Structure 1
């Protein structure tokens, strides 16, 4: 089974994250398949291409829970792949940010860590009442990635973004709606229809106009640049005592005791 499914109909490219048994967490293969799917959508959304709107969705109950923890723990034990933010995450995000037509995220469940970053890199976020958001970075002694520190601040302002990322509390769909994190919140049973209606509106609209307006409003280069800065922060934090303590606490099923170093 492919980890990413893509279909195109009536000008709408639907990209489905398809790893529901692992809460659509991002392992190496999924990161690479998403990168390729986003890059293909960007190519096909050229002025003479078949794609005029893109939907990013996920199968199962979660949108994307972020980094695959099993993979992360194994890499930590072996001391390998500490540069995957640079070599895999950022190319995946650059491909998503390069899509020139409107991109809609259909969020039916939890979007955490890099999953929240993927959602925020989309232009519109339609969430069901069962959706929720969480940074899941500071709790393990790390910084945000996927440009989330910039895209979230763009949506809610620096002060609120700092609060959400530092305190790392769960944000419900209703709160996300009131904060402007999502475009709209709908009942779970009508999520697909709501997203389809919005995508159809874009797919039958003035695509050249949409492409130019998106380029003027969305500062993709700034999000990409911030993702690069976040990668540097992650590399430094991977080596800290606090991050090591967070990993040990997770394995030992206890609360971490951070020392600030």
Structure 2
């Protein structure tokens, strides 16, 4: 019987999805893509889940595409691999109805690096690293890398990272704004758990709309962004979480947000 390549676990309102092909540094196969999409869909459909954590088993987070997978064999159309697996994965993560955290426990290379960058927060162990490894085998960044990198580190750094393929230690990635936080290895699990717990207690719909609004604003002028903000505030100003937040503030109590 084939072992699952994605392990799903729940703790309260937090769903943790672990990439579990440790002998292959959690590199992607077509089957692993299908399992991860299914696990993300299940979390999205579960009204009790309010935050998702993606991490890796063993020494690595994800080494990118498993080049021994038949879909990546020489002569295959890699564009079909992208449109059939990686693009749907990126779109699924970016459309999740709850915040998503990448807990990067080791090397994140190629598609694995950009998988992490697709998430709302990236927290990495100090021993972890990020590598845009595509140029080393004659390819260009995928898994959203061409869109994500310039928006996180600027065009000059994005070009350097993508063209040279140098290893970026987690601490340097945090300094350049590529990721949210670098922590000591022993503190990774507790730090991620604390952030996930905090996010799970916050107004989920507003957090997700914030993700969407910031992304959309990159392609808008100021007037368009202002108009979008007004539309969103009209929507959320009539929602339970706003009314609950205002009442909690006025009565000096902790709010209980429930919208999702």
TM-score when scaled to structure 1?
0.78
Corresponding position of 1:230: none
Alignment of 1:82-161 (within 5 A): 82=78, 83-161=80-158
1:30: how far off?
Answer: 0.8
Q: Deviations over 1:194-239 (max 9, x none)?
A: 00000000111222322222221234998xxxxxxxxxxxxxxxxx
1:174: how far off?
Answer: 1.5
What is the alpha-carbon distance in structure 2 between the residues aligned to residue 71 and residue 175 of structure 1?
A: 32
What is the alpha-carbon distance in structure 1 between the residues aligned to residue 24 and residue 195 of structure 2?
A: 29
1:40: how far off?
Answer: 2.3
Corresponding position of 1:251: none
1:180: how far off?
Answer: 0.9
Mark the runs of 5 or more structure 2 residues left unpaired by the alignment: 220-260
For residue 59 of structure 2, the aligned residue among 61, 67, 80 is 61
Change (3 A) 1:52 1:108: same
1:29: how far off?
Answer: 0.8
Higher relative contact order (CA 8 A, sep 6+): 1
Change (3 A) 1:220 1:34: farther
Partner of 1:195, secondary structure, is helix
1:80: how far off?
Answer: 3.4
Indicate if the aligned counterparts of 2:72 and 2:81 stay in contact, CA closer than 8 A. Answer: no
Aligned length: 216
For residue 22 of structure 1, the aligned residue among 24, 31, 52 is 24
Corresponding position of 1:51: 49
Indicate if the aligned counterparts of 1:100 and 1:214 stay in contact, CA closer than 8 A. Answer: no
In the TM superposition, structure 1's runs of 4+ consecutive aligned residues that sit over 6 Å from their partners are none
Corresponding position of 2:228: none
Corresponding position of 1:233: none
What is the alpha-carbon distance in structure 2 between the residues aligned to residue 73 and residue 208 of structure 1?
A: 37
1:28: how far off?
Answer: 1.2
Supply the RMSD in Å over aligned alpha carbons: 1.9
1:16: how far off?
Answer: 0.8
1:145: how far off?
Answer: 0.6
Partner of 2:112, secondary structure, is helix
